[in-house]
Amino acid sequence: MSEVAQHLAEIRKSLPDHVTLLAVSKRQPLEKLHEAYAAGQRDFGENKVQELMEKVDQLPADIRWHLIGHLQTNKVKYIAPFVHLIHSVDSLKLLQEIEKRAAQNNRTIPVLLQMHIAEEESKFGLNAEELTELAEAALSGHFPHIELRGLMGMATFTEDEAQVRKEFGVLKGHFDHWKTHFPSFNTLSMGMSGDLEIAIEQGSTLVRVGTAIFGERNY
């Protein structure tokens, strides 16, 4: 059994049935992705469109590819034909572009809205007010080719578990609120290698795990 397969088996054993394991394969060699695939893994996440496009052609066609990093509007067209779930929608402009490209491809694209919940400064992610704005735009029916599936967020990178717990709890609160408006809400994407237990305790339905499966990334 490969090391990757061993890690996957251990993590899967620790996950409740309702939690999806997304293997974050960014900056990992193809060989390790093949090992994960051979071990039954089908959901893979990348944070850059270019790297995603390079990998897609070299791996089996039944992989479900997730885009988890910041997405520029001019890159949406490349992934629109096949992407399984975009986790990182954080502007109206991006929603509009995804709508346009989804329509061109005759499909519906599932997306999550990314919230900024960490203490750390970041250019990415919505605050509560911006989230309301986007959710209301989506509710008004302007995006027939987009399915709003839920929310994504990253907690502060800290040893302080109480802080992480609080931030995931805030995200879960927003998720529960908007779920009452969107019947399609079924995914709360929170938790990474270092904080997945807390994320699950706080109601995560999808954990994005990189280094705990594949080891350190190549920089």
Query: Which residues are at the interface with ligand PLP (CB under 6 A)?
Result: 24, 26, 47, 68-69, 154, 192-194, 208-212
Least distance (Å) between residue 69 CB and ligand PLP:
5
Least distance (Å) between residue 88 CB and ligand PLP:
7
C-alpha 58/C-alpha 52 separation (Å) is: 10
Smaller CB separation from ligand PLP, 83 or 154: 154
Q: Which residues contact 151 (CB under 8 A, 6 or more apart)?
A: 112, 113, 114, 115, 131, 171, 174, 175, 178, 187, 188, 189
Smaller CB separation from ligand PLP, 5 or 103: 5
Smaller CB separation from ligand PLP, 68 or 86: 68
Least distance (Å) between residue 177 CB and ligand PLP:
23
Least distance (Å) between residue 206 CB and ligand PLP:
10
Residue 129 burial (CB count, 10 A): 7
Smaller CB separation from ligand PLP, 105 or 211: 211
Burial 77-94 (b: 16+ CB within 10 A, else e): eebbeebbbbbbbbbeeb
Specify the length of the chain in residues: 219
Indicate the residue whose CB is closest to ligand PLP.
210
Torsional sign, CA 191, 65, 23, 123:
negative
